[in-house]
Amino acid sequence: AAGVIQSPRHLIKEKRETATLKCYPIPRHDTVYWYQQGPGQDPQFLISFYEKMQSDKGSIPDRFSAQQFSDYHSELNMSSLELGDSALYFCASSPTDGGTYEQYFGPGTRLTVT
Amino acid sequence: AQKITQTQPGMFVQEKEAVTLDCTYDTSDPSYGLFWYKQPSSGEMIFLIYQGSYDQQNATEGRYSLNFQKARKSANLVISASQLGDSAMYFCAMREGGRSFQKLVFGTGTRLLVSP
C-alpha cells in the first residue's frame, strides 16, 4: 500500500539558511498535517491543511510557512534557521471519508542546523 | 493542562509476555479519538490502534488491544505475546472533536524494552 512520502529524508543546514521540506500524502487523503519532534520529545503539531486551505495552526514560528498544492502535496518552508529548529519533521495525512480519521505518518525529515 | 499523560517513562518485559502501557487523557469534548503509535529507533511513527469515544467495544488489532475505560479517562495499550521487535517508544495521542482535520496531541511516550 502507498504511504506518505517525505523528502528529503535528511537535511543539514547552517544557521540563518532556509529549508524546504516536501510531503506527498497517501492518494485520496485530502488532509495533511505537519509535526515537529525535538530530540527526546513528543511530536508537536505545527499546521494542517484540508482541501488546500489551512485548517489549523499550532506552535509554528513566524519564520515557517506552509502550503498545500492542487495535487495535495504540501511544502513546509523554514527561513532564518536556528539551532533549535533541529528536529524530526513529520508529515501525516488522513482521509475525510473515514470514520476514524487516523493519521498516517511519513518517515520524517531529519533536519540538523549547525 | 496536560491532555495526554503517560506516567511510565520506561517499561521492561520478557519475550512472549504481555505488557500494558498506561495512558490517561483529559477532555471535555464528548467526541474524541484515541490513538497509539509506535516509534522504533529508526524514527518513523507507526499507527497501531484507534478507539473512538463512542465505540462500545474495546479496539483490537492483532496482538494489540486497547483497554478503554471512559469513566476513568484511560486508554491503556495491551501488547500480548511480546516480541523483540516490539522494543520501541510508544506514544498515546488524542484527537478532540468529530471533525476529520483535527490535530493530534501526544503524550510524552513510554519506552518499551523487550528482553529475550
CB distance B112 to B36 below 8 Å: no
Name the residue among B44, B95, B109 with its Cβ closest to that of A42. Answer: B109
Among B30, B36, B44, smallest CA distance to A106 is for B44
A42 → closest Cβ in B46, B95, B106: B106
- pLDDT of A23 > 90? The answer is yes
Q: CB–CB of A5/A106 below 8 Å?
A: yes
Between the CA of residue B34 and those of A39, A51, A63, A106, what are the distances in Å? 24, 24, 31, 19
Contact A85, A93 (CB under 8 A): no
What are the grid coordinates assigned to A55, written together? 485548517
| Amino acid B103: pLDDT | 87
Task: Choose the closest CB to B44 out of A42, A100, A105.
Answer: A105
**pLDDT the model gives residue A98:** 60
Task: Per residue of chain B (116 residues), give pLDDT as tens.
Answer: 569 999 999 999 999 999 999 999 999 888 889 999 999 999 999 999 999 999 989 999 999 999 999 999 999 999 999 999 999 999 999 988 666 568 899 999 999 999 99
β-pair partners for A45: A35
Residue-wise pLDDT tens digits, A29-54: 888 999 999 999 999 999 999 888 99
Residue A99 has a pLDDT of 60
Are the beta carbons of B104 and A107 separated by less than 8 Å? no
Over residues A13-26, mean pLDDT: 97
Report residue B45 CA to chain centroid gap. Answer: 12
Using only the alpha carbons of chain A, give its radius of gyration. 13
Q: What is the pLDDT of residue A2?
A: 81
- Give CA–CA dist A20/A22, Å, rounded: 7
DSSP bridge pairs for A92? A33, A105
| Beta-strand relationship, A53-57 and A44-50 | antiparallel
pLDDT at B58: 95
Given a cut of 80, whether residue A76 has pLDDT beyond it is yes
Contact B50 A100 (CB under 8 A): yes
Q: Quick one: pLDDT at residue B101?
A: 62
Which is nearest to B52 in space by CA: B77, B28, B70, B76?
B70
CB-side exposure of A110: number of CA atoms within 13 Å? 6
Residue of A nearest to B47 (CA): A104
Mean pLDDT of chain A: 92
Cβ pair A91, A34 in contact under 8 A: yes
pLDDT category, A102, cuts 50, 70, 90?
A: confident
d(CA A17, CA A56): 26
Neighbouring C-beta atoms of residue A10, cutoff 10 Å = 9
Q: Which residues of B touch A96 (CB under 8 A)?
A: 100-101
d(CA B84, CA B16): 9
| Short-list A112, A1, A92, CA closest to A49 | A92
Q: Is B97 left (phi over 0), alpha (psi -120 to 50) or beta?
A: left
Interface of B with A in 39-58 (CB under 8 A): 43-47, 50, 52
pLDDT of residue A59: 86
